[in-house]
Amino acid sequence: MPQATISLHDKQFAPYLPARQIADSIRELAVRLNQDYAGRQPLFVAVLNGSFMFASDLLKELSIPCEVAFIRVSSYQGTSSTGQVQEIMGLTEDVQGRDLIIVEDIVDTGHTMQALLATLNARNPASLAVATLFLKPECLQHELDIRYVGMEIPNDFIVGFGLDYDGLGRNYPDVYKAV
């Protein structure tokens, strides 16, 4: 059962999505990925820091042979996107001719995802897909083909399950929204 409210820095957050609902959504995504990538060996590219919990739980649900790698990018400061993507820690694996699946915690404006897709497409993968736990369709500022979406949510600022507010809140198993 989620805590009633939590305080992070100068904001209050109320319960929004319980861990059980998140787990159900991840299992549904894994079923689709297992079907779509049967007979293949994709490389999952988890975007740090936010996707670590999602990536971990998703990979545990997969029955296909797969690999995982990590990339760290940033476009957030506080509660809003800066609009500028900075690659902090790059992908070292050779991805040419590989099936890649980007694992992201949340896609809102799409700035980060658009830059990441362009960077990875330039490395000539066999295929490139996105799996995101959360999508904020009303925030999107780019046309993106996001094939695997756990949940579409409104434009609320959320924390928990890997998502943070200036470094705090990632550790909560449930998701909370700012009030």
Q: Just list the catalytic residues.
A: 108
Reference 132, options 114, 115, 156, 151; nearest CA is: 151
Task: Output helix, strand, coil percentages for the chain, rounded to the nearest 5.
Answer: 25, 40, 35
64 Cβ contact partners less than 8 Å away, ≥ 6 residues apart: 33, 34, 37, 38, 40, 41, 42
In sequence order, the 6+-apart residues with CB closer than 8 A to the CB of 136 are 106, 107, 108, 152, 153, 154, 155
Amino acid 23 reads: A
Sheet (strand 99-107) strand order: 80-89, 67-77, 43-48, 99-107, 127-135, 148-152
